[in-house]
Amino acid sequence: MNKFTTLTGVAAPLAMINVDTDMIIPKQFLKTIKRSGLGKNLFDEMRYTPDGGEVADFVLNRPAYRNAQVLIAGANFGCGSSREHAPWAIADFGIRCVIAPSFADIFFNNCFKNGILPIVLPQADVDRLMQAAENGANATFTVDLEKQEITAPDGSKTGFAVDSFRKHCLLNGLDDIGLTLQKGAKIESFEAARKQSQPWL
């Protein structure tokens, strides 16, 4: 998993509440078990017309936001089914941070496991950042995980809370497998001892 330390990039405003995982990545794209290649189908039914053309006024289709790395969204983001393909699609598009007043629990947890930083802020703070993001290509934000601080385009700073263990994992690029591999020496020692004491296993 890629480390998350400091991210500087354009923030895209998505002023919608209750954005569910089927809106993030529709069910027809869940056949793959690869984490790559889903970015082109992120928000597929909102980004494209039935014949495959782009919906010009959808935020991620606007020139200023095509390379957005931060998404500022409404409350209850990521609700619906528990598909992990949703954070896979967000990450594959290039978004590493999602800011919202609230998240669905499973989606929130899946973000951390896939190198995405989900930030919960009061509605008033989200509204202020959303307004700043409306400036398009000039809406460059910096998210500093170590300092737990968001710097808006005007230089104003907003602090945020994050669980210390999850922060440690993101800063060091540790997913569940990475955490397990940190215990590699102890696992090998245990297996060697068990082989001696229980050779029939």
Q: Is the pLDDT of residue 183 over 70?
A: no
Q: Is the pLDDT of residue 107 over 80?
A: yes
Report the sign of the C-alpha dihedral through residues 132, 137, 138, 142, in that order.
Answer: positive
Q: What is the mean pLDDT of residues 176-193?
A: 68
The pLDDT value recorded for residue 192 is 66
Task: For residue 161, give the nearest of 110, 127, 114, 122 by alpha carbon.
Answer: 122
Q: What is the mean pLDDT of residues 126-147?
A: 95
Domain boundaries, the chain: 6-175
pLDDT tens digits along 43-75? 999 999 999 999 999 999 999 999 999 999 999
> Residue 54: helix, strand or coil by DSSP?
strand
pLDDT tens digits along 2-15? 899 999 999 999 99
The pLDDT value recorded for residue 200 is 77
State which H helix or E strand residue 192 sits in: helix 184-197
CATH architecture of 6-175: Alpha-Beta Barrel (3.20)
The pLDDT value recorded for residue 48 is 97
Q: What is the mean pLDDT of residues 127-147?
A: 95
Q: Is the pLDDT of residue 201 over 90?
A: no
The pLDDT value recorded for residue 4 is 97
According to the 3-state scheme, what is the secondary structure of 164-188? HHHHHHHHHCCCHHHHHHCCHHHHH
pLDDT-derived band at 40 (thresholds 50, 70, 90) equals very high
pLDDT-derived band at 195 (thresholds 50, 70, 90) equals confident
